[in-house]
Structure 1
Amino acid sequence: MRTLLVSGLALFAMFFGAGNLILPTMIGVNAGEAAWVAAFGFLITGVALPALSMIAYSTKRAGEPHIGGRIGRHLGPLLVLLVFLSCGMLYGIPRVAAVSFEMSVAPVLGEGANVVLAQALFLAVFFAIAFLAVLRPNQLVNRIGLGLTPVLMLLLVALIIGAFQVAPAGHPVTADFQAAPVATGVIQGYFTMDAIAAIVFGGVIYSAMEADGRHGASLRRGMAGAAAVAAGMLALVYLGLVRVGMVGAGDNGAAVLSNVAKQLFGSNGQLVFGLIVSLACLTTVLGLLGASTQYFHRIFPQVSTRVWLVVHVLVAFALANLGLTKILAVVAPLNQLLYPVAICLVLVALLEMGLGRKLTWAYYLPAWVSAVLAVLEALNSTGLAVFAPLRTFLNFFPLGAYQVAWLVPALVALVVGLVLDFRSNPEVLADEPVRLNDDLTTPVSA
């Protein structure tokens, strides 16, 4: 139970980054009277899907480097590589670090301050702390779960309870939330990137469960329990932050949260807000660094995890110094590209676990179909005029107007894949115990 609880706390903290602060808060601001309805859609992709992704990860088989390989010999490793690069040193880590500076330090700098120098100094300290914390990956879950998460939760609870003592500001509903509040909430949940990040964090929690002596069905139950703890905490915090947005005001989520903190805690409000942001960002970066360095060490074992950690920190530090605006410019295309394929992988892995038999075409066909449409959706989301006609084509598909043109074709492909598998592949899954190698990510026969 201790391992399950600590792993759940750590998983919550790894999921909960700065974007997780901003997105539900802005639902409270932009959805007006439809805020709670929109929040339901947000919980689908921001809470339920990441939890299911963790459970799906627990189905990893003996000798299988990663569950992503089930969607194809080429597409699977490509998806996993893109996930680790996007959630890791090329986007996720520098984005979170840059957000930490923009939301906690930048607001208190004076008019004559050298912002570029201040950002470089802050990021140097931020990444130095992260580097030292990840040097011993076997202690990472305990450090996050027992050390940082309780402090983060206390600060968040104080902010949320205070927000429930203030009357809603009566924000008007924006056009997107007025037309389709649930669908818009679902899309906002995409931007947490947590369903994708679960593919990254899965190895960290998996190794903690394995070190606790869990194998097979016991390991899967442990992963499900940790996912349930994290999901419950995420849902409560998200709903609380929606309420914060309903009572606050500002041009963006950071301003809204900062203003509410100042309203509730006076001159110490910015300090409280800065601590929340810094802790949320640090715990996420620790999880991403730990998982990503282990992944690249497994691919290139001749390079030690410590060297990979140095590479990750240096690359992320350089990119974070470009500033938040430039980093965020790539978020929409990345999400539209990776999420559909990742969702297909997760849902089929869960279906396979429920059916108790090995699936092949049920993995391949939905993933390939969704990948083709995801590429088109990602190109359209860049906003470049040359790709604008793709919107007309994508809208021909059911739900295409809601940016999920891939969904119905992928479901049709899943049905076809299941028919093919049941006709050609009678293999029943064995509940084989597995253990992990020293790199904490590669399972081998027990």
Structure 2
Amino acid sequence: MNIQRKELLVTSFALFSLFFGAGNLLLPPMLGYNSGENWLWVAVGFMITAVVIPIIGILAHARLQGTLFDFGKKVSPTFSLIYCILIYVIAVAIPSPRTAAATHEIAIHPAFGTSPLLTSSIYFALVLVFVLNRSKILNLIGKFLTPFIVIMLLAVIAIGLFYSEFSTGSPQFNTPLVSGILEGYQTFDAIGAVVVGAVIIISLNFDNMEVSRFESKRKLIRNSGFIAGLGLFVIYAGLIAVGAYYGSEISVDKALSNDMQRANLLRDISIKSLGEFGNTVLSVLISLACFTTAVGIIAGTADYFKGLLNNSQTVFVVTAIIGCVLGVIVGQLDFNSIVVVAIPVLLLVYPITIMLILLNVLPERLATPLVFRAVIIVTLVFSIPDVIGFLSPFEGLQKLTGYIPLAKHSLGWVLPSVVTFGIVSMVKSKPKDA
């Protein structure tokens, strides 16, 4: 029983840490700050895309216990191959370098004044060392790094709320629930779920934990997902609440870039909570949170291409090196630039990922290959206007999307996808009922 508890705690901590990166730490306080008295509604929306959907993704992994390819193969093997490659390219090109950019701008440069090139080079060299020793990932992250991260986060939140005057600023969002949902996209947690879920499964196969049977691993991954999700919920809600309740005490310079606004707000909250020591705590916290996420992304990408190409260890090493080199190159950009580049990509890929996650946790009698194909095609078609509207909005497109419910909130794909699922499911089941 003790061994099982130890395995559960280590896996839960590792899963939490692989999820919790730069965006997860920086986005919630500013979201709370801008939401003011409506922070609870914003928090609910944020939880949907940053906690609920990702944890459902982990539950889907627990059920499938395969690779990311298994998520989309019911649509078609070709689609799944293209989707997997796209997801992993996005992962190593955007969220992974973003962790290095955030670490440099918030933790390293203010203290040492080093160049982005030096920071990202050392950063990804260390990431590579961890990835190449991937059999120890769960233990290293789950036993040592994550508990430290969680303790510091809870200290900032608890002390911050204790000393707060509970006075919020003016709300900046017209639709707080929708704003929270869309901001949750920026955490990349749904994409993270399908990437790091595979890392957890392969790490369990590598580790010397006494988890071998399918049902044992399924139970371990499922329970770890719930615990990690609870941890994410508490941290996110706490950070949003702290940001909201310090709204009247801290002034954010709107002339600064969005990333520096977020960083300065979190730094001011940390200093108010923990004194000047809070600045050091924040630097260490951001560095560790970003680092563990980068390790998970690079390891997951290398695992996938290794499996795709005859289980070659050489492919694993080469992919890890390429991912780290790309991280160094893209890491030269500032955090905000990477976020801006990510938005149109997320508007296209996130809806498809969300629907694949939801379909993969449904019973097979409901989520048939026909249902998969129909729902994913409709989701893709109705996501394209959001991307075009973001890149170059024009009047004709706005008139067209005006007829689609929720389209003005970049959620025009939701209702068509749900309706398609209902119609195809009924049509599929009709002959059996006759």
How does the TM-score come out when normalised to structure 2? 0.89
Deviation at residue 64 of structure 1 after TM alignment: 9.0
Q: Summarize the Cα distance change of 1:358–1:209 in structure 2 as closer, same or farther, 3 Å threshold.
A: farther
Secondary structure, counterpart of 1:125 in structure 2 = helix
Q: Is the 8 A contact 1:360 1:417 kept in 2?
A: no
Structure 2 equivalent of residue 22 of structure 1: 26
Which residue number in structure 2 is paired with residue 416 of structure 1?
Answer: 423
Q: Does 1:379 align with 2:382?
A: no
Which of 315, 325, 339 is equivalent to 1:314?
Answer: 325
Residues 274 and 17 of structure 1: CA distance in aligned 2, closer, same or farther (over 3 Å): same
Q: Is 2:116 the partner of 1:119?
A: yes
1:245 aligned onto 2:243? yes
User: Does structure 1 residue 255 correspond to structure 2 residue 250?
Assistant: no
Alignment of structure 1 residues 45-444 onto 2, 5 Å: 45-60=49-64, 65-87=69-91, 89-108=92-111, 118-165=115-162, 166-174=164-172, 177=173, 179-210=174-205, 212-246=210-244, 247=246, 249=250, 250-251=252-253, 252-301=261-310, 303-352=314-363, 359-382=368-391, 384-385=392-393, 389-422=396-429
How many angstroms does 1:207 deviate by? 2.5
Q: In the alignment, residue 5 of structure 1 is paired with which amino acid?
A: L
- State whether structure 2 residue 3 is matched by structure 1 residue 13: no
Separation in 2, partners of 1:104, 1:269: 12
Give the count of matched residue pairs. Answer: 412
The whole-number CA distance in structure 2 between the counterparts of 1:48 and 1:283 is 21
| Residues in 1 aligned to 2:432 and 2:128: alpha-carbon distance in whole angstroms | 47
Q: For the residues of structure 2 that align with 1:258 and 1:346, how far apart are their CA atoms?
A: 35
**1:215 Cα offset (Å):** 3.8
Cα separation, 2, equivalents of 1:421 and 1:11: 37
SS in 2 for 1:31: helix
Give the superposition deviation at 1:413: 1.3
SS in 2 for 1:223: helix
What is the RMSD computed on CA atoms of the aligned residues? Answer: 2.3
Same amino acid, percent of matched pairs: 27
Change (3 A) 1:421 1:360: farther
Map Cα deviations across residues 104-123 of structure 1 (whole Å, 9 max, x no partner).
123346xxx5xxx5222222
The Cα of 1:283 is off from its aligned counterpart by: 0.8
CA contact (8 A) 1:370 1:407 kept: yes
Q: Is the 8 A contact 2:68 2:84 kept in 1?
A: no
Question: Does the C-alpha gap of structure 1 residues 283 and 216 become closer, same or farther in structure 2, counting only changes over 3 Å?
Answer: same
TM-score by length of 1: 0.86
Higher fraction of helix? 2
Q: Aligned in 2, Cα 1:352/1:21: closer, same or farther, shift over 3 Å?
A: same
- Deviates further, 68-77 or 131-140: 68-77
Deviation at 1:125, TM superposition (A): 1.7
Q: Encode CA deviations 1:242-261: one digit per residue, 9 max, x unaligned.
A: 12212153242211111111
The corresponding residue for 1:32 is: 36
Distance 1:71 1:27, change over 3 A: same
Tell me how far 1:425 sits from its aligned partner.
Answer: 9.5
Equivalent AA in structure 1 for residue 226 of structure 2 = A
What displacement does 1:424 show? 7.6
Query: Which amino acid is the alignment partner of residue 196 of structure 1?
Result: I
Deviation for aligned residue 1:74? 2.8
Partners of 2:147 and 2:432 lie apart in 1 by 48
Any unmatched runs of 5+ in structure 2? 254-260
CA distance in 1, matches of 2:60, 2:139: 23
Give the Cα–Cα distance (whole angstroms) in 1 for the partners of residues 67 and 177 of structure 2: 40
What are the superposed Cα offsets for residues 126-162 of structure 1, whole Å, 9 maximum, x if unpaired? Answer: 1121111111212111111112001111111111111
The residue identity in structure 1 corresponding to 2:302 is T
1:18–1:99 contact (8 Å) kept in structure 2: yes
Q: Match for 2:100: what amino acid? A: A
Task: Between 408-417 and 31-40, report the one with greater CA deviation.
Answer: 408-417
Q: CA deviation at 1:96?
A: 1.2
Q: Which amino acid aligns with 2:148?
A: V
In 2, are the aligned partners of 1:104 and 1:273 still within 8 Å (CA)? yes
Kept in 2: contact 1:100–1:281 (CA 8 A): yes
8 Å contact kept, 2:22–2:98: no
SS in structure 1 of the partner of residue 73 of structure 2: helix
AA at the equivalent of 1:66: D
Q: Provide closer, same or farther for how the CA distance between residues 62 and 255 of structure 1 changes in structure 2, counting only shifts above 3 A.
A: closer
Q: 1:239 to 1:65 in 2, by over 3 A?
A: closer
Alpha-carbon offset, residue 299 of structure 1: 2.4
Quickly say closer, same or farther: Cα 1:134–1:64, change in 2 above 3 A.
Answer: closer
State the alpha-carbon separation in 1 of the partners of residues 338 and 136 from structure 2.
30
Distance 2:156 2:66 in 1: 45
